[in-house]
């Protein structure tokens, strides 16, 4: 079983409009509601790859009830912890003409100390049966900025490989707890290290505590810096579509590759292929399976000198 943690879950609402025009009224062609948040997206991709996935985090209020109802229709196991506050909503407005997506993200509910304690207890119980764990996304209001650092240490004590995918001060604190892998994008990595040169920044992030670093570089693919070596993997061509959730699919590729014992080039190949196939899918947590299979054979992996 692979465990994913989403402390700031969301009910994802997608509106599709013929064309998005500022300051204008719009008639919505289509509305979709899906369980959202980075770790939930990761779990959905993991189940599509054939892995058992369990999701935990927080859910509350009417939006949380809808999220859990939608999640029950899908394969991941629901171990979300109930809270008094309402789960946030994220609104995506998709322009049918350009294909561009405008995203509006609410901040999330206030989590009380007692609710955090209940989550930590649930997390500890779930670690007992986990092959790996992913800690994903932003922290909701009320949680300590070192929350992820605490969860990383808890996973390490349980000897469960832990991947951290967050940003800002939560990443800075979390990386000092020595996670097995961190997966920032280029901007998050630059904010962490002060360097815009990805290879230098990835090495710096390892010095700060990460055992391995995989940086998402957009159209340039991904860069991995690990004790075993340095690699960069890129898709054969630029893929256009909706990039929402592409990084979450990459996390699923990296985690599934880890538990299957794949070497780093094969893990990166899977992560890049899944990421690109997600851009071609209609929503986060999904990927175009045909494009994924084709992409696996055409991702380019280059090894860098140490």
Kindly list the catalytic residues: 248
Other CB atoms within 10 Å distance of the CB of residue 48: 19
Work out the number of other CB atoms within 10 angstroms of the CB of residue 1.
16
Q: Tokens 């935990």 label which residue?
A: 56
Q: Which letter does DSSP use for residue 305 in this model? A: P
DSSP string computed for 123-152: HHHHHTT-SEEEEESPPPTTS-TTHHHHHH
Burial class (CB in 10 A: 0-12, 13-18, 19+), 209: middle
The string of DSSP letters for 62-127 reads HHHHHHHHHHHTSSSEE-PEEESSPPEEEEEEEETTT--EEEEE---PPPPHHHHHHHHHHHHHHH
Query: 259, 51 in Cβ contact below 8 A?
Result: yes
**33, β-bridge pairs:** 13
CA angle 291, 216, 296 (to 5 degrees): 25
Task: Find out whether 6 and 37 touch, Cβ atoms under 8 Å.
Answer: yes
């Amino acid at each position: 079983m692979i465990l994913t943690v989403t402390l700031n879950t969301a009910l994802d609402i997608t509106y599709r409009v013929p064309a998005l025009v500022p300051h204008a009224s719009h008639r919505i062609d289509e509305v979709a509601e899906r369980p959202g948040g980075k770790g939930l997206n990761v779990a959905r991709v993991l189940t599509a790859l054939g892995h058992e996935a369990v999701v935990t985090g927080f859910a509350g209020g009417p939006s949380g009830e809808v999220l859990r109802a939608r999640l029950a229709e899908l394969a991941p196991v629901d171990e979300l912890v109930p809270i008094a506050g309402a789960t946030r909503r994220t609104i995506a407005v998709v322009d049918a003409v350009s294909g561009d997506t405008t995203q509006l993200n609410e901040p999330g509910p206030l989590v009380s100390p007692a609710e955090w304690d209940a989550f930590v207890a649930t997390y500890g119980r779930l670690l007992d049966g986990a092959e790996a764990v992913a800690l994903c996304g932003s922290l909701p209001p009320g949680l300590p900025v070192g929350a992820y650092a605490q969860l990383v240490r808890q996973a390490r004590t349980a000897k469960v490989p832990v991947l951290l995918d967050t940003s800002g001060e939560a990443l800075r604190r979390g990386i000092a707890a020595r996670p097995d892998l961190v997966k920032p994008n280029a901007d998050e990595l630059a904010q962490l290290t002060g360097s815009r040169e990805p290879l230098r920044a990835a090495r710096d992030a390892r010095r700060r505590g990460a055992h391995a670093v995989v940086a998402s570089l957009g159209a340039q693919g991904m860069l991995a810096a690990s004790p075993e070596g340095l690699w960069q993997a890129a898709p054969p061509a630029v893929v256009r579509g909706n990039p929402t959730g592409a990084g979450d699919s990459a996390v699923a590729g990296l985690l599934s590759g880890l538990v299957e014992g794949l070497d780093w080039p094969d893990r990166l190949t899977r992560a890049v292929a899944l990421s690109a196939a997600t851009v071609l899918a209609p929503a986060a947590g999904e990927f175009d399976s045909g494009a994924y299979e084709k992409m696996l054979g055409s991702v380019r992996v280059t090894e860098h000198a140490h």
